[in-house]
Every structure is written in structure tokens, then in C-alpha cells.
Amino acid sequence: QKEVEQDPGPLSVPEGAIVSLNCTYSNSAFQYFMWYRQYSRKGPELLMYTYSSGNKEDGRFTAQVDKSSKYISLFIRDSQPSDSATYLCAMSHLIQGAQKLVFGQGTRLTINP
Amino acid sequence: GAGVSQTPSNKVTEKGKYVELRCDPISGHTALYWYRQSLGQGPEFLIYFQGTGAADDSGLPNDRFFAVRPEGSVSTLKIQRTERGDSAVYLCASSLTPASLYTGELFFGEGSRLTVL
């Protein structure tokens, strides 16, 4: 079993829809939770970062962490065609800080105009 | 440069050959990471450098893989006796520590796509 599980999709929604992306994990030591966005043939870029449990909002994006359920989510409101990409969840634990991220498989998202 | 630069962008080689992949991190970033991303998968950690030394090389799959960063800037990932299973995109990332140590912000390059025939 992988430490981080993420539904690979693909996920296709119409423009303007609310998108929900999720990951589950098994290692209770994870403390730092991130969402990266990766466009085709590009490197991942950091979208959201959350420490421990709770919510964080940044514009149209909201990240949620539920450590009791070992479950994290990313919500995208008013989705745009430019949001079409692969979304990767990533996490790391306290001892190693941010040096060694464990990524999910990535969810490929398409927003249709 | 403005971002992390990786060369070559594409490399096709034959099984058994030796390959070197180069990474030029963002100027001033002391931490450098190598990840490997297979098709349809998320990146997997290979090795982390803080300055010139490898602080964590626990992700290197076997002794055919080796990485160096002799002057604390440019890094080279070296793969000996390549196998078809080594085919993947090799991503390099850098970060400014300690400010970004716990923010998760790694700045990735576009990767070197390695194909072993």
C-alpha cells in the first residue's frame, strides 16, 4: 500500500463548476500538506500549503486537512479552462521537514469551456 | 537564471549505456533535490543536497544511481548501466532554506525525459 493515495482520474467538468480533489494517507507522522499543479511537460508548481489540520483559502482555491481521518482536499471554485492540469497532493513529516516530499499519483483535471 | 534549468530536456539511450543529467538551481538556493516521475505517477524522491553534501540519499534505487554537487550549485545525476525501467522524467528542484524549510515550496525544473531503449 502506498503512503499517499490519490484518484488518478481523469476528471472532466464544465467551466464554472466546483472541483473537489482528494488524497488519503497512511503515515500519521505527516504534518505538512501541499498541493502542487503540473501542466503538461512542465515541472510541478506549489499551489497551496497547510500545516497540520484546518482550512486555508487562497482566491478560488481552498485546502482542507483532516488529520483524524488522514484525508486532505483541494476545492476549486469557479473553475476555468486554465485550471486544466494534473494536481498532485504532497506531504512530509516533522523530522525531515520539507526536504523529502511524498507525492500522490496526481489527478488529471480538464475544465471544458 | 530565473528558474531551475535542466539539461538535456530529452535523452534517448540504449540499455547498458551511461547517462548524466544536469541541474542548475535557482541562484542562492542552497537545497537541491532530485525526483523521478514515471508515466502517470507522482514524483518520487531520490536525493537531497544541502550545500555540497548529500543530506539524504535514501531514495536512490540502487548503486547504479549517483549524484554530485561539488561546488554547492550545479548538480549532476549519473546513471550507470541504464535499464529500460530507468525510463522516466527526472525532475530537479531547489529551495531557499531555512526560510522555505517547512513551507513545502520546492521550485521544480521542467525535467529531463530519459528513454532507455
- Mean pLDDT over the full length of chain B: 92
Region of poorest pLDDT, from B10-19, B88-97, B108-117: B88-97
Region of poorest pLDDT, from A42-46, A103-107, B54-58: B54-58
Predicted pLDDT of residue A80 = 97
Pick the residue from chain A with its C-alpha nearest to B31: A99
The DSSP letter of residue B5 is: E
Predicted pLDDT of residue A95 = 62
Between CA A91 and CA A98, with CA A97 as vertex, the angle to 5 degrees is 55
Residues of A with CB under 8 A from a CB of B: 4, 6, 8, 32-34, 41-46, 49, 51, 88, 90, 92, 96-106
Residues of B with CB under 8 A from a CB of A: 4, 31, 33, 40-45, 48, 50, 55-56, 58-59, 91, 93, 95, 100-111
Report chain A residues whose CB lies below 8 A from the CB of B45: 100-102
Predicted pLDDT of residue B51 = 86
Distance from CA of B100 to the nearest CA of A (A): 8
> B27: pLDDT confidence band, cut at 50, 70 and 90?
very high
Candidates B31, B101, B108; nearest CB to A45:
B108
Return the closest-CA partner of residue A18 out of A62, A55, A82, A53: A62
Predicted pLDDT of residue B109 = 97
> A42: pLDDT confidence band, cut at 50, 70 and 90?
very high
- How confident is the model over A6-11, as a mean pLDDT? 88
- pLDDT over threshold 90, residue A99: no
- pLDDT over threshold 80, residue A78: yes
